[in-house]
Amino acid sequence: MHTTFFLIGFFAFLLAMIVFGSVMSRRYRGDGDNFLLGGRGVPVFLTIGTTVATMVGTGSSMGAVGFGYNNGWGGALYGIGGAIGILLLAWWFAPMRRLRFMTMSEELSYYVGGSRLVRNVVAVLIYVASIGWLGAHILGGGMYLSWIAGIDLSLAKIIVAIGFGLYCVIGGYMAVVWTDTVQAVLLFLGFIAMAVFALIDIGGFSHLGDNMSPGAAESWFGVAQLGLVPALSLAVVVGVGVLATPSYRQRIYSAQSVSSVRRSFLFTGVLYLAFSIIPAIVGMAAHTLAPDLDNSNYAFPYLATQVLPMGLGMLVLIAGLSATMSSASSDALAGVAIMMRDLWVMATGHVPAPEKVVLFSRFALIVTIGLALAFALITNNVITYITTMIATVMSGLFVCGLLGRFWDRYNWQGAIATLVAASVTSLVVSASATMKAFWGNPSIPAVVVAVLAGVTVTLMTPRSSVTREQALNILNEERARMEMPTAKP
């Protein structure tokens, strides 16, 4: 594919998304609640669109295809874990929409008596997690652009970061939601087209396993190649990521109602489950055609440039870049919500003035994207980057949410113990070659140890003296000071 042709198409698409997002979000920019959460009235079809686009992000489009290139049907594990995660999120946490939280740190502190310590610690961890996810998307998009256009990888990462950053800064949450929905359509059309053409090119399903080991090509989910425990760990780490990633909580807080969240997540989960085999097929087909790629993460752009007709190939490549930009924009907004609602209060002792929230949020977006870009510039492995970050930071957040949601006795001491235990366990497992080989990644031991630590410390310490109703009132009163009177209920 001619690189100039692709770059013209990519920049035209990017400009169209910036203009489209700006126009569609124009009436949602009045205050912080509108800019960061779309006025808490996002309809079902937009919640589906933005959730699908966020889920079919860098991990699916690049990481899972590359994983399928190396491990056959193991490439489906990413989609299976994500589908289970979003379905559990709908079942367990959709009712939190009624409580009008703005950030996940608010939610977790509510579970433990409105503890300011827990809220501050969680806010820092979530902000770090948001930067981690955002960095992974910048990394994935940069690798795409660099490989296709033949430009320096660092320059490609900078272009991707500036690209999605523009429509985030201009239009806020609703610009992200609308552009995500358009990109979700592109993503599915692009992936399906690639799978169909790749299968035709290799001569059908019977040739998917050519040039691959039998363990990868013939076993369910590549278990014979990966091992049962590492395969399970990969699905778990992705599911935990969905259940603890702030951008998915934002989908809950911004939706019209509890029922609209549940319907959106149910549809998304079923769709994503069906989608899960497509990255595996694409990766295996790429391995059949080119078994000696230097980097398996380039399997997706290789097929788009070598197998598809030029016009369709450009559409598919833009779909791949759409995956990174849609997911990145969501994580950027989630990080900024944390900065405005939680980190600002931690640093200053008060919430920002309502009339300044949008302006400050735009500056915060620039800072957040800049930090993520800095991290992305020092790493080049997508799946390792994502799974390490999830296991280290997000396993504890997941357990905090789970214990807090279903156990009224849970207190702030237990929450801190949960967070510390998850991170320490993850670091210990990651540092041991033997344990890492057995588990695949630290997610399962991190979750188990975090649960045990949280329960044990909670039972050994006093029950919280602040009821959940009192905690909610404290949070609501504080949040009301940064919302305009026009904010929707």
For the segment 224-261, what is each residue's pLDDT rounded down to a tens digit? Answer: 777 888 889 888 988 998 898 888 898 999 998 999 99
pLDDT, tens only, 372-397: 888 788 766 554 555 566 567 788 99
Give the per-residue pLDDT at 58: 57
Residue carrying the six token digits 């949450």: 173
266 within domain boundaries: yes
% of the chain exceeding 90 in pLDDT: 23
Contact 61, 140 (CB under 8 A): yes
Question: Residue 209's CB: how many other CB atoms inside 10 A?
Answer: 17
Whether the full predicted model's pTM is greater than 0.95, yes or no, is: no
Higher pLDDT, residue 26 or 362: 362
| Alpha carbon 305 to its chain's center | 27
74 within domain boundaries: yes
pLDDT of residue 445 exceeding 90, the answer is: yes
277 within domain boundaries: yes
C-alpha 11/C-alpha 381 separation (Å) is 25
Question: Residue 134's CB: how many other CB atoms inside 10 A?
Answer: 30
C-alpha 374/C-alpha 334 separation (Å) is 18
C-alpha 190/C-alpha 313 separation (Å) is 9
Higher pLDDT, residue 427 or 1: 427
C-alpha 230/C-alpha 233 separation (Å) is 5
- DSSP annotation of 40: G
Give the per-residue pLDDT at 171: 73
- Across the range 468-482, mean pLDDT stands at 84
pLDDT, tens only, 259-317: 999 999 999 999 888 888 888 888 888 888 888 887 777 787 788 777 777 777 777 77
Residue 489 confidence class, pLDDT cut points 50, 70, 90: very low
Question: Residue 175's CB: how many other CB atoms inside 10 A?
Answer: 29
Give the per-residue pLDDT at 31: 58
Strand, coil or helix: what is 65?
Answer: helix
- DSSP annotation of 255: B
The amino acid at residue 105 is S
Most confident of 28-42, 310-324, 349-363, 467-481: 467-481
The stretches of 56-152 forming alpha helices (DSSP H) are 58, 65-71, 77-93, 104-111, 116-149
Give the per-residue pLDDT at 486: 45
C-alpha 453/C-alpha 125 separation (Å) is 18
Residue 78 confidence class, pLDDT cut points 50, 70, 90: confident
Strand, coil or helix: what is 377?
Answer: coil
410 within domain boundaries: no
Query: What do you get for the CA distance between the two ends of the chain, in Å?
Result: 51
Tell me the DSSP string of 331-363.
HHHHHHHHIIIIIHHHHHSSPPPGGGHHHHHHH
Give the per-residue pLDDT at 89: 96
Q: List the CATH number of the domain containing 76.
A: 1.20.1730.10
427 within domain boundaries: no
265 within domain boundaries: yes
C-alpha 49/C-alpha 182 separation (Å) is 8
pLDDT of residue 488 exceeding 50, the answer is: no
Domain of residue 209 covers 3-338+354-381
224 within domain boundaries: yes
Give the per-residue pLDDT at 383: 46
Q: Which of 132-136, 151-155, 273-277, 373-377 has the lowest mean pLDDT?
A: 132-136
231 within domain boundaries: yes
Most confident of 32-36, 346-350, 436-440, 483-487: 436-440
Is 77 exposed, middle or buried (CB count within 10 Å of its CB: 0-12, 13-18, 19+)?
buried
Residue carrying the six token digits 């989910």: 221
% of the chain exceeding 70 in pLDDT: 90
Share the mean pLDDT of the chain: 83
The total of structural domains in the chain comes to 1
